[in-house]
Structure 1
Amino acid sequence: MKDQAENLRRRLEARQNQSMARTISVLSGKGGVGKSNFSLNFSIALSQRGKRVLLFDMDIGMGNIDILIGGQSPCSIIDFFENDYSLNDIITTGPGNISIITGGTGLKNLFAFDEDSYTRFNEEFSLLLANYDYILFDMGAGITQDSMKFLLCVDEWVVITTPEPTSIMDAYSTIKYIHSVNKEIPLFLVCNRVFTSKDGKKTINRLQNALMKFLGLETVALGFLPDDRTVSKSVSKQMPFILFDSEADVSKAILDIASRYANHSFGEELTLQKSGFLRNMKRYFLGK
């Protein structure tokens, strides 16, 4: 009874809290573009701005977050579904004072909710929405039926590409697909591994122009990251590059991206809607 009363109190407090976390899915058309490294360092950059950040590794069975930080979390999302852990139980403190939920291995059908599991997840996730400013989901490469449902629940998408033509085409195909299902979710673009700022601007402009011409889709250019040797060195040391060398060009670039994002300094008109993650989950997972 004591535990039930405590859980009820926490839920009521969460509902009274008007400031709910923004939910962001970070995705790419294919693997190998630096998506997880971006998610990790972007999370830390937001944390350095005084934001409360939870990074959720959604690349189940293939997650890289543990590897990038040189550790292995004792619990993962698997424990929530299979061992009756709470979401709060599986959160670990990561570098740069961010919170992390790792993906683990062995779960094939992520978020195949029935009514009971949905209710449990809904109640516990509502607490996380009240306790954080941003919740980032580092998605697996490509799109599955389950991940598509989840992508439709979040408030914003960040798509990572590189200047390589195949990467641009994969990003375009991914955006085309998700846009065909939902045309309302704001979409941000980040170009990784650029050799010059001119290359970065050219790549993003090329993708934006194609999206506008063929889909009528307006996107926000969030920024680009240089092809900096600091990244490979930091990965070898299993340390986020923003902490490995805060003066490196790539670290300054991720801080600039985080600043522009947090301040909504996009240069374009963009209306961010109130967070609707839980409402969308009910719609897409339960059909209600």
Structure 2
Amino acid sequence: MMDQAQKLRQIIDNLKVRDAVALDNPVGVKEKNAKVITVTSGKGGVGKTNFTINLAIALSELGQRVTILDADFGLANVDILLGIVPKYTLVDVLYNRRNILEALTDGPKNIKFMSGGSGVEELVKLDGTQLEKFVNNISLLDKLSDVILIDTGAGLSDSVMSFVMAADEVFLVTTPEPTSITDAYALIKMVSNRDNNKIIKVVVNRAENANEAKDILNRLSIVAEKFLAMKLYPLGFVPQDESVIKAVKMQQPFSLSFPKSDAAKQIKEISRRLMEGNADITNRQESGIKGFVRRLVNLMNA
């Protein structure tokens, strides 16, 4: 009976995957890959995960299908900030215990997220056949998502840098604190040593006002261009806001709990700017999550 039950579950899983692909890829419609964006920071405690979640919600409200991959394997926080406990993680997908649809957890406003667990450490242990199977499995995210936001760990570890270099582009979160700005510059410098054409968009979190944020963005841009020959792109800012602290305690995104707050307004402004001024989100031609995973594994094995 157990064998029959397992076979039945496998058949149902395959049907789910097939139906999901069919729904998102009607006959005659050109297939598109998701835009893979790594959200990172030079140090911890800058509000990176909170920014990621609320940006995902804002993009979803503008019609984008958004998936978050929590790749902070030491201290995963997406589920905590959302107050949702995922049943499965990336590790379950790696070892074919669950398909990608089962590992995805529904979040607010139609966003989806997946906890990485200890996935990166396990990913590099896969042999060629296992890796190919995993890549084919996770590539379903390209059919289900327009944007995939990868929330990395903080700091300058090899693991974080691999995620940064494998992504289509990078959103770098800093705060006005001198240590945060210094660490952000250190990350930019490490990226420039590998590829100074990498697209890095900088957001200042917890800024006192627009002028302070603008000053920080300008200073970082000038220094990066002068000493690293690297162009940075200002993404915007999120102001210091008591609503954010209250929402964290409630385990709810501040853009939903306090939609009229200054922080929520700025997140929506950033998402609008990304959609209006950034053709690479709406007309993407990148290699999606499939290409991202291949690059990531190559970087981690280098």
* TM-score, normalising length: structure 2: 0.84
Q: Kindly tell me: are residues 70 and 53 of structure 1, through their superposed partners in 2, closer, same or farther at Cα, counting changes over 3 Å?
A: same
Give distance in 1, aligned partners of 2:200 and 2:42. Answer: 14
Aligned to 1:275: 286
Give distance in 1, aligned partners of 2:186 and 2:167. Answer: 20
Give distance in 2, aligned partners of 1:52 and 1:60. Answer: 24
- Root-mean-square deviation (CA), in Å? 2.9
Aligned to 1:125: 138
Give distance in 1, aligned partners of 2:240 and 2:203. Answer: 13
User: Which letter does structure 1 place at the counterpart of 2:294?
Assistant: K
User: Which letter does structure 2 place at the counterpart of 1:285?
Assistant: V
Work out whether 1:165 is the aligned partner of 2:184. Answer: no
Residues 15-26 of structure 1 correspond to what in structure 2 (within 5 A)?
Answer: 17-26=30-39
Please state how far the C-alpha of 1:81 moved relative to its aligned partner.
2.7
Give distance in 1, aligned partners of 2:292 and 2:89. Answer: 24
Please state how far the C-alpha of 1:69 moved relative to its aligned partner.
1.0
Selected match of 2:108 from 95, 103, 110: 95
User: Which letter does structure 2 place at the counterpart of 1:118?
Assistant: L
Please state how far the C-alpha of 1:53 moved relative to its aligned partner.
0.4
Residues 58-77 of structure 1 correspond to what in structure 2 (within 5 A)?
Answer: 58-77=71-90
The 3-state SS of whatever aligns with 2:87 is: coil
For structure 1, which segment, 116-125 or 191-200, has the greater mean C-alpha deviation from structure 2 after superposition? 116-125
For structure 1, which segment, 194-203 or 113-122, has the greater mean C-alpha deviation from structure 2 after superposition? 113-122
Selected match of 1:111 from 123, 127, 130: 123
Residues 184-263 of structure 1 correspond to what in structure 2 (within 5 A)?
Answer: 184-263=197-276
> Aligned residues, how many?
284
| Residues 124-159 of structure 1, C-alpha deviations (whole Å, 9 max, x = no match) | 222211221100000001233344333322111000
Q: Which runs of 5+ in 1 are unaligned?
A: none
| Residues 58-113 of structure 1, C-alpha deviations (whole Å, 9 max, x = no match) | 00131111111112111112222346212221001101220010233x55715314
For the Cα contact (< 8 Å) 1:24–1:157, is it kept in 2? yes
For the Cα contact (< 8 Å) 1:61–1:103, is it kept in 2? no
Give distance in 2, aligned partners of 1:107 and 1:281. Answer: 12
Q: Kindly tell me: are residues 262 and 116 of structure 1, through their superposed partners in 2, closer, same or farther at Cα, counting changes over 3 Å?
A: same
The 3-state SS of whatever aligns with 2:198 is: coil
Q: Kindly tell me: are residues 58 and 116 of structure 1, through their superposed partners in 2, closer, same or farther at Cα, counting changes over 3 Å?
A: same
Give distance in 1, aligned partners of 2:286 and 2:122. Answer: 22
Q: Kindly tell me: are residues 213 and 229 of structure 1, through their superposed partners in 2, closer, same or farther at Cα, counting changes over 3 Å?
A: same
User: Which letter does structure 2 place at the counterpart of 1:75?
Assistant: Y
Work out whether 1:154 is the aligned partner of 2:170. Answer: no
The 3-state SS of whatever aligns with 1:184 is: coil
Please state how far the C-alpha of 1:284 moved relative to its aligned partner.
5.2
Please state how far the C-alpha of 1:52 moved relative to its aligned partner.
0.4
* TM-score, normalising length: structure 1: 0.88
Aligned to 2:4: none
Q: Which has the higher helix share?
A: 2
Give distance in 2, aligned partners of 1:83 and 1:276. Answer: 23
Work out whether 1:40 is the aligned partner of 2:70. Answer: no
Aligned to 1:55: 68
Aligned identity (percent) is: 33
